[in-house]
Amino acid sequence: MNSGPSKYRFSLIAFFTTAIILCMVQWRVSRPMLMAERFAVGAGWIQILIMAGYAAWITLKMQDPGQSARWRRITWSVFSIVFFGQLALGLAGYEKFLMTGKLHLPVPLMILSGPIFRGSISFMPILFLSTLIISGPAWCSQLCYFGALDNISADQKTDLKSFRHKFRIKHILLLSIIAITILLRFFQVPARFTTLLAICFGVIGLVIIAVISRRKGKMVHCILWCPIGTLVNYMKLISPFRMYIDDTCTDCMACTRYCKYDALNNSDIMSRKPGLTCTYCGDCLTSCKSDSIRYKFFNLSHQKARHTWIVLTISLHAIFLALGRI
């Protein structure tokens, strides 16, 4: 665990990172994006202070590897509750809780299919791409509203049988979704029909979360079903952050039981690198008695690399939490 003044230094960095970016949003965006500002002029500044403090506090908590999994679960659950709470209020007719004043279908699939079908990019894909650049696969471990549900459902004893042999499913599904969306656009299929298809896809995903993820103790929706998760598996490489397994590893395999993303199987440990579906969540760190699972960020020490990732990821989490996102 990071100790002494440096522990608080990283928390302060998270505080100012969150505060500066939210201040830029408050100043530069014409439509109020901060939720508090939509209800009272000037209240956004108070919300900025609160969210910056929240980011600093969570960063402080998550610097301890033994506590990070617990706090990640709590904060991710809070994120999902706030997201779906805004959705419910938007459906009830309270437009102040909507990002643009229009309701968007909150299925991760739409981040990919929406721009392809419309032929134009929207705000959510921009947010998604920004997370990939800044902190790699953090979308799939801290920021996805569906992923939080999958994380909660998979909180059972982990089935050690790998899904690696089924990874072709995720790739076929991704390519099929892209091809079908292009065809729907080409034939100018009515939006109400495409929306129905997306809803069905989302409902199937929820069934997978509620049944299969719970039974397997792994996040099966995120691992196999979600096309955005598959994109993240590859596009995370545009971020300079990495995770690796040091040669001090004793091959005890204890970390396998802690990985809900099916990224620490025997072959991964032997190759000294977490698998394709690793999201850098860090839940496995507490299981590694030899401190062999490490973060990498340029030439920083593995401890500083991890703390840097936490600062950036928690800052993104706090910023997104402060905004109207539907």
pLDDT in tens, the chain (326 residues): 455 567 899 999 999 999 999 999 999 887 788 888 888 999 999 999 999 999 999 999 999 998 999 999 999 999 999 888 888 887 787 777 775 545 467 788 888 998 899 888 777 788 889 899 999 999 999 999 889 999 999 988 888 888 888 999 999 999 999 999 999 999 999 988 998 999 999 999 999 999 999 999 999 999 999 999 999 999 999 999 999 999 999 999 999 999 999 999 999 999 999 999 999 999 999 999 999 999 999 999 999 999 999 999 999 999 999 885 54
Helix axes 5-28, 43-62, angle to 10 degrees: 150
Residue 276 main-chain phi, psi, to 5 deg: -55, -40
Would you state the pLDDT for residue 326?
A: 47
**What letter does residue 34 receive in the DSSP assignment?**
B
Q: What is the largest CA-CA distance in the chain?
A: 62
Q: Which residue has the tokens 């004793």?
A: 250
Residue type, 55: A
Global pTM value: 0.91
